[in-house]
Amino acid sequence: MNTNHPTNNIHNAEALADDIEKTQSGIIIPRPVKHLGSGFRSTVIRDASGQVFRIGRTSNSVGGYKHEVKLLQFLRNQLPTAIPEPRLFAPRSEQFPGGVMTYRELPGHTLSTDVADEDSWGSLATELGEFLATLHQIPTTTLQELKPQPSHSTIAELEKTRIETTPTLKNRLSTDEMSRINRWWDELFSAPEMHEYSPVLIHNDFWHKNILVRSNPPKLSGVIDWEHSRLGDPVIDLVAVRYLGDKFARQVRAAYSNRIHVDPINMNFRLERQIVLREFGGIGYSISHNDNIELDASIEKLRNTGVTGISTGRST
């Protein structure tokens, strides 16, 4: 895996804390330090005082961190739940080419997929739908100073994704699978429904590991990881909610639709296709970072959308 990070073990929280102390004069990180997780772009650790450090795994992570710091300063008083108050702790350096961002830990714990379809979770689904509705109604004219980010909502970005993923997929998929994928792309570009929306501010990675809850039954307590946020198709924020179960996802969409008038047929059309595009995004990331393990996993997820005509039947 090419992470562009010089630390040998990205899961060794103590080693990462040592590296931060060495590069930041006078900084002492309270121990013990816990590894909270690693994603495509960041490794996250927390010290004994409750300070969270997001460590960029790629050289372009620092750009996302800068975007997030600026955006969240603007959003702080406009959303119905807690969001981080981050600062760029360490800019790009030889030791940390992706930079380091830090913020005080928010209350709660990450949402689990285990029991999300239980009847008692209906109030949480309503909270999530209402949160997204509030986010999507923030006037975009107030965001003009924010750096624009690419989105899987525009023709240019869709074409770029197709071009960048096709050669690798041709080497890994059957001829029949590639024929199905090519037909899917052709139909996508010719579908006017894909462009019948008004761009809004989206979180753009609204899945369970970025949603914090507390109490039982769970209540929404925070939303984290905003570095990918941008203007785009609002249904993108409804895509990853499906990982929490079909019933739960329907409840989220119902709460959302109660706050924002949407055409249900058009919304469902775009939603089904954005589900597939999310997996193409994972494939593109894996290719650009030479991550064959993640590439295999992303191709399996793509197959499980049904777009290739072959499904492994495994959970995504």
CATH architecture assigned to 13-105? 2-Layer Sandwich (3.30)
Q: Where in the chain is the domain with CATH 3.90.1200.10?
A: 110-304
Structure tokens at 118: 């239980």
Measured from the Cβ of residue 297, the count of other Cβ atoms closer than 10 Å reads 17
Q: Where in the chain is the domain with CATH 3.30.200.20?
A: 13-105
Partners of residue 109 on adjacent β-strands? 213
Q: Provide the CB-side half-sphere exposure for 106 (13 A, CA).
A: 20
31-39: long-range contacts, CB 8 A cutoff, minimum separation 24:
35/11, 37/209, 38/10, 38/11, 39/209, 39/225
Predicted local distance difference test score (pLDDT) of residue 145: 65
Predicted local distance difference test score (pLDDT) of residue 7: 45
Predicted local distance difference test score (pLDDT) of residue 39: 78
Residues 6+ positions from 66 with CB-CB distance below 8 Å: 88, 147
User: For tokens 């249900």, what's the residue?
Assistant: 264
List the one residue out of 255, 256, 266 whose CA is nearest residue 194. Answer: 266
Low-confidence residues of the chain: pLDDT under 70:
1-10, 115-117, 144-153, 311-316
* Buried b / exposed e along 95-112 (16+ C-beta atoms within 10 A): ebbbbbbbbebbebeebe
Predicted local distance difference test score (pLDDT) of residue 40: 75
3 state DSSP class of 22: helix
Predicted local distance difference test score (pLDDT) of residue 6: 44
H helical segments located in the chain: 13-23, 61-75, 122-136, 155-172, 175-190, 236-239, 246-259, 264-288, 292-304
CATH of 110-304, one of 3.90.1200.10, 3.50.50.60, 3.40.1480.10, 3.40.50.10860: 3.90.1200.10
Predicted local distance difference test score (pLDDT) of residue 2: 40
Strands ordered across the beta sheet of 34-38: 34-38, 42-46, 51-56, 100-104, 87-90
DSSP state of 15: H
Predicted local distance difference test score (pLDDT) of residue 1: 36
d(CA 67, CA 73): 10
